[in-house]
Structure 1
Amino acid sequence: MMKIFKYLFLIILISLFASCSDNESSNVKNDFMKKTASPAIVGETIEFAYAMGTTSGRLNTAEAVASIPGAQGTGFGLYSYFTARSSISYNGVNYTGGAEVPVKTVKETNTNGATTTASMMEKVETHYMNPVVALGAGQSDLIAATLRYYYVVPEEARGKEVSLRFTAKSTEGESASYQTPAYKVSKMDMKRLIVMTNSNACYFSIADMKAYTKAEVESQNLSGKIDFVYMYQAQLNGFTYNHAFVSPGTDPKFVAIPANIPSGWTKNNTLMEKRVDVRDAQLKGNIPNVYIDDIDFETLNLSAAVDYVLDCKAEEGAFMKTADGKYAAYIFINSLNTNNGGTMTVSIKRYPLK
């Protein structure tokens, strides 16, 4: 009966991933799923789920070899997960029905260069292997598991393609491997939750993806790098102004606070196009899963753009192009506040045009 269950459990596990292996005659089967749908950006993490199982012996090791070594933080997680059918308590933690419950299935893991190895546990919570058995009823041989693998995109991969080769081995010496497709790594850079304050840290450099104060701009001679200035004023000359982006070189009639753009500074004219419908999930931090990718910047047409954006609102944004033509960017407005003279929190995706 146990042998029948082992086969059944393995079939169910691998079928969830539309099983495929380069060694169909092996008793070890494997497959993978790329869980991360967002663009692969340097410094960000791509998450994979690697499913493996054996009908002979136990699982012994798992291995992942990247075509380009990942940055620090790349490697297998120590846990697999099962879905709680109802509210339960496990290892001192309470979980509600539908929650993912972690079960340690990896003894230790090591990443050396492009290769990550994981040594599997001999025994595991029986409920993980057979959900009809009560939680905490005992331990069973580890014959199947789905590991999380995290690939932190390194600078070396920018604009290139990266792929992985996963391999599972059993205690019987049998193995199975899976070669993933190649995934394109973006040329973009990204930075989240940059706070700007009216008449203080209000000078933004797309090249640096940073907001500066007037004192910083002047002491570091940065005026040539300032692409827009954040200003807040409810009304200007009878029209609604509110939170605004203005280029240092824009027409003075759009500048609510003239003293914020000293006459001796470089006056860049940054092209801007306001967008009320682009809510990039990486910049926003949650759903919907809509993303700005390289192609959006490569095909960006700002021929009808102006050099200011007025009356900005939260969860809107603007496509921009620097005056020197080096970068295109999307500035997403995470939040706004009229207190303390006006503050704005933004996130940015930046793409090199040259």
Structure 2
Amino acid sequence: MKHSYLYYFLVLIGLVSLSSCQEEEYAIPELKQELQNDVIKRTLGPNLVGLNIEFAYAMALPKSMGKLVSAEVEASIAGGESTFLENRSFYTNGSGEDVGIEVGSKSVNSGGKTTVAFTKDTSAATLRYSYRIPSTARGKEVSFKFSAQASNGQAVTYSMGPYKVAEMDMVLDLDVVDSSKAFISIEDMAVYSAADAAANASKIDLVYLYRSIPNITFSHGLVAPSAKTYLPGVNLPAGANRATKVQKVWNLRDFHLARLQFGVYIDDLDFQQLDIASAPDYAINMRAEAGVWVETQDGKYRAYVYVNSVSNDKKSARISIKRYLMK
């Protein structure tokens, strides 16, 4: 590897020396007389089941040589029903806005293939492809083959991937309310009322609390059923006794959960390497945009619970969760 870097460095030095000795005239690149294509991946971060992987697929040939007939994307694992290839070609106007112009019929899915037939006389187009990640792809790799055909018989292909699909699950915007809807199950990725919690007592990992106590900073809390000191006045369902590990975190605004401008992502590896063995069984004084790492008592699940918003007046909060099943 070191020799490769040295080689390229010497080549660069040689090119710089050559350019300093002579000045070359700029020449407009010649347009290739053939159908061409290119692809860029538009989405970032981990690929989660239920989310989309998005691409932009560009194809073109000289107008004198014919027009585009069809475009197709074949996924190695068939996507969800909402997988589609746009039938509009996009460009960016002077205001920076994306503008779509219809150039074909709506896409058709057949197995892993998604196809658009062109209906307009066009020799160049950029179509967006959105692949809805199915549950069958969890933990696997998925690849894509883009292809286009022209009226002159030419065809091109472009392969992308493979892309690993994460093992973890995600749920967004769960409302928790002190006393009335406060029991959280990491296993079920759900929030239960007191009545529903009684039927799922063995799955309750956290209890949401709001307390306004003079001279004590408590506010919004996520507390394990085992943390009796922090649960005065709370009637736990019989059998709710898990000692969940809870570690509070500030400023970890996972993009999928927060949907804010911060480009930070929690991935499978973060859960695999997480070590909160010495963490307590409670987290208090929680605020909006904070979160907690969680490990269930049986070690079966690890999770990150993000606090999207809080309301002191309503004694409530909204949370979103990423969860990983330990092997």
Calculate the TM-score normalised by the size of structure 2: 0.87
SS in 2 for 1:108: coil
Residue aligning to 2:168:
188
Is 1:303 aligned to residue 303 of structure 2? no
Residue aligning to 2:320:
347
> What amino acid is the match of 2:318?
T
Match of 2:223 among 213, 233, 246: 246
SS in 2 for 1:68: coil
1:105-184 matches, cutoff 5 A = 105-123=103-121, 142-184=122-164
SS in 2 for 1:260: coil
Deviations 1:121-162 (A, max 9, x none): 323xxxxxxxxxxxxxxxxxx111110001000111100000
> What amino acid is the match of 1:185?
V
**Cα contact 1:10–1:54 (8 A) shared by 2:** no
Q: CA deviation at 1:108?
A: 2.9
**Cα contact 2:59–2:124 (8 A) shared by 1:** yes
> What amino acid is the match of 2:39?
F
**Distance in structure 1 (CA, Å) of the matches to 2:202 and 2:142:** 37
SS in 2 for 1:330: strand
Match of 1:266 among 216, 240, 261: 240
Q: CA deviation at 1:99?
A: 1.2
**Distance in structure 1 (CA, Å) of the matches to 2:55 and 2:30:** 19
**Distance in structure 1 (CA, Å) of the matches to 2:312 and 2:241:** 27
SS in 2 for 1:181: strand
Is 1:322 aligned to residue 322 of structure 2? no
Distance 1:302 1:168, change over 3 A: same
**Cα contact 1:26–1:176 (8 A) shared by 2:** no
**Cα contact 2:139–2:164 (8 A) shared by 1:** yes
Q: CA deviation at 1:26?
A: 7.4
Q: CA deviation at 1:243?
A: 0.2
Q: CA deviation at 1:258?
A: 2.8
**Distance in structure 2 (CA, Å) of the matches to 1:193 and 1:281:** 14
SS in 1 for 2:211: strand
Deviations 1:310-346 (A, max 9, x none): 0000000011011111110000000000123x01100
Match of 1:84 among 93, 96, 108: 93
The answer for unaligned runs of 5 or more in structure 1 is 1-7, 12-24, 86-96, 124-141
**Distance in structure 1 (CA, Å) of the matches to 2:75 and 2:29:** 29
SS in 2 for 1:149: strand
Deviations 1:14-57 (A, max 9, x none): xxxxxxxxxxx971111111101021111111111111111220
> What amino acid is the match of 2:79?
G
> What amino acid is the match of 1:244?
G
SS in 1 for 2:218: strand
Residue aligning to 1:39:
46
**Distance in structure 2 (CA, Å) of the matches to 1:70 and 1:26:** 35
Is 1:62 aligned to residue 35 of structure 2? no
SS in 2 for 1:107: coil
**Cα contact 2:104–2:120 (8 A) shared by 1:** no
Aligned pairs, number: 298
SS in 2 for 1:217: helix
Match of 2:195 among 202, 215, 230: 215
**Cα contact 1:10–1:53 (8 A) shared by 2:** no
Match of 1:287 among 261, 264, 272: 261
**Cα contact 1:26–1:174 (8 A) shared by 2:** no
**Distance in structure 2 (CA, Å) of the matches to 1:117 and 1:101:** 21
Q: CA deviation at 1:107?
A: 2.1
> What amino acid is the match of 1:189?
D
**Cα contact 1:10–1:144 (8 A) shared by 2:** no
Distance 1:26 1:258, change over 3 A: farther
Deviations 1:67-120 (A, max 9, x none): 0111111120122222221xxxxxxxxxxx221112112223200111111111
Q: CA deviation at 1:10?
A: 11
Indicate the RMSD between aligned Cα atoms, in angstroms: 1.7
> What amino acid is the match of 2:224?
S
1:45-56 matches, cutoff 5 A = 45-55=52-62, 56=65
Distance 1:10 1:271, change over 3 A: farther
Residue aligning to 1:93:
none
The answer for unaligned runs of 5 or more in structure 2 is 1-27
**Distance in structure 2 (CA, Å) of the matches to 1:332 and 1:10:** 53
Calculate the TM-score normalised by the size of structure 1: 0.81
